[in-house]
Amino acid sequence: MTVHVAPCAAPTADPTTREVRTESGQREVFCGLTGIVWLHRKIQDAFFLVVGSRTCAHLIQSAAGVMIFAEPRFGTAIMEEKDLAGLTDANDELDRVVTQLLARRPDIKLLFLVGSCPSEVIKLDLSRAALRLSQRFSPDVRILHYSGSGIETTFTQGEDACLASLVPALPAAQDDTPSLLVIGSLADVVEDQFKRMFDALGIGPVAFFPPRRSTALPSVGPNTKILMAQPFLPDTVRALQERGAKRLVAPFPLGVEGTTAWLRAAADAFGVSPAEFDKVTEPNRARAERALAAYKTELAGRRIFFFPDSQLEIPLARFLSRELAMQLVEVATPYLHREHLAEELKMLPLDVALTEGQDVDLQLDRCRAARPDIAVCGLGLANPLEAEGITTKWSIELVFTPIQGYEQAADLAELFARPLVRRAKLVA
């Protein structure tokens, strides 16, 4: 069985020469602290201590507000005015908070000190704090630091900074056995599906990064092959490459086509024959294509506009245009890593308008002029656009929801169909 290709999906030009509009200006994005919301669920013995202000605490609480935990695994060491004014020694305060936390929570094995705008403004050196506290609490607790500060970032960069900070802690591979390292947070259910698929293909050993437990960190070395599950991890990839790992060239596992090409990149690297690959993946591909068909009826021909937010925009646009025949009005992304996204760019229609960066007023003007059927955007833009009659999809939901792999392809399509159906009912 072959993947359905939409009529608009003509073969495209060299991705390195594609024309991209670059914009800078006012931005409407969440900061990197937001990544804590999904990372704390993924690494189950980690704690994320934001060193920040009440604003940072509110952001985390409201972003994570849908989840209720008896013992949450994130918190904020709130810097009061006297800290910000330099009237107290913020390092002493931080040591006191960490000591209290670890005494109360012996289940914490990995503590991230997460920097914020306020901690950076007062130049609180969290790298030294992490080193100092590590000496005190090692080996029971590993203490690392990264920045989630939001001045020039978007929210998925928090995961990149977090994982990059963890790379130096990975043990060195002890032998020459080739291994696969899948990087980027995936829902456990998706991870389990991929693990079964790799097992069926005879690919292994396979590890996922971040791991579910910090006490089971994957090893890395020159025979480690990196397969990116998320497109927003350039610093993590660089840090792993500095440890000798090699990145496999692949698109991202969104939709049937992306998942197949992603798995095939691993299969090729591990010498799996094309016949064996087809035999293992065919039933899943066929099932996923059948499930997608219903959504194609709903979505084909609908016009979609992406505001830059999650960094998932380009793989999503590729999936929606090629497998569901949606029309791409504009695809904007906060940062365009041409090397990591090369396979995706090759598959986008030639005439799509690509934008890197944000000048929100100009983008809103273009969106209003184009009147797309649906706009994918951050929470801050969704309400005004809905009020103007433009249906929206929150991009942050696409990071929280399991969307990768064959089993989730139809669920991903549904995420775009649902708001359109709802709007149709409202205006009927």
Q: For residue 274, what are the contacts with CB-CB under 8 A and spacing of at least 6?
A: none
Minimal CB distance to ligand SF4: which residue?
150
Least spacing, CB of residue 156 vs ligand SF4, in Å:
14
As a whole number of angstroms, the distance between CA 324 and CA 90 comes to 53
Binding positions are 31, 56, 117
Chain residues 122-141 in contact with ligand SF4, contact rule CB under 6 A: none
Least spacing, CB of residue 409 vs ligand SF4, in Å:
33
- Determine if 108 is a binding residue for ligand SF4 (CB under 6 A): no
As a whole number of angstroms, the distance between CA 266 and CA 256 comes to 16
Name the segment binding ligand SF4 (CB under 6 A); options: 48-56, 96-104, 281-289, 369-377. 48-56
Tell me which residue of 403, 237, 239 sits closest to 249, measured CA to CA: 237
Q: Which of 59, 144, 316, 336 binds ligand SF4 (CB under 6 A)?
A: 59
- Determine if 150 is a binding residue for ligand SF4 (CB under 6 A): yes
In contact, 210 and 39? CB cutoff 8 Å: yes
Concatenate the DSSP letters of all residues of 177-214 into one string. --EEEEES---HHHHHHHHHHHHHHT--SEEEES-SSG
Length of the chain: 428
Binding positions for [4Fe-4S] cluster are 31, 56, 117
Name the segment binding ligand SF4 (CB under 6 A); options: 127-135, 146-154, 291-299, 333-341. 146-154
As a whole number of angstroms, the distance between CA 249 and CA 348 comes to 17
Least spacing, CB of residue 233 vs ligand SF4, in Å:
20
| Beta-carbon count within 10 A of 59 CB | 24
In contact, 51 and 378? CB cutoff 8 Å: no
Q: Which of 52, 184, 231, 258 binds ligand SF4 (CB under 6 A)?
A: 52
In contact, 114 and 50? CB cutoff 8 Å: yes
- Determine if 392 is a binding residue for ligand SF4 (CB under 6 A): no
For ligand SF4, give the closer residue by CB, 204 or 380.
380
Least spacing, CB of residue 380 vs ligand SF4, in Å:
13
- Determine if 334 is a binding residue for ligand SF4 (CB under 6 A): no
- Site size toward ligand SF4 (CB under 6 A) is 12
- Determine if 117 is a binding residue for ligand SF4 (CB under 6 A): yes
For ligand SF4, give the closer residue by CB, 113 or 141.
113
In contact, 320 and 304? CB cutoff 8 Å: yes
| Beta-carbon count within 10 A of 81 CB | 8
- Determine if 396 is a binding residue for ligand SF4 (CB under 6 A): no
| Interface map 226-255 toward ligand SF4 (x if CB under 6 A) | ------------------------------
Q: Which of 116, 179, 281, 321 binds ligand SF4 (CB under 6 A)?
A: 116
Q: For residue 255, what are the contacts with CB-CB under 8 A and spacing of at least 6?
A: 292, 318, 319, 322, 323, 409, 412
- Determine if 31 is a binding residue for ligand SF4 (CB under 6 A): yes
Q: Which of 76, 149, 284, 391 binds ligand SF4 (CB under 6 A)?
A: 149
Question: In terms of C-beta density within 10 A (0-12 exposed, 13-18 middle, 19 or more buried), how is residue 161 classed?
Answer: buried
For ligand SF4, give the closer residue by CB, 52 or 308.
52
As a whole number of angstroms, the distance between CA 263 and CA 158 comes to 26
Residues engaged in binding ligand SF4 (CB under 6 A): 31, 33, 52-53, 55-56, 59, 116-117, 148-150
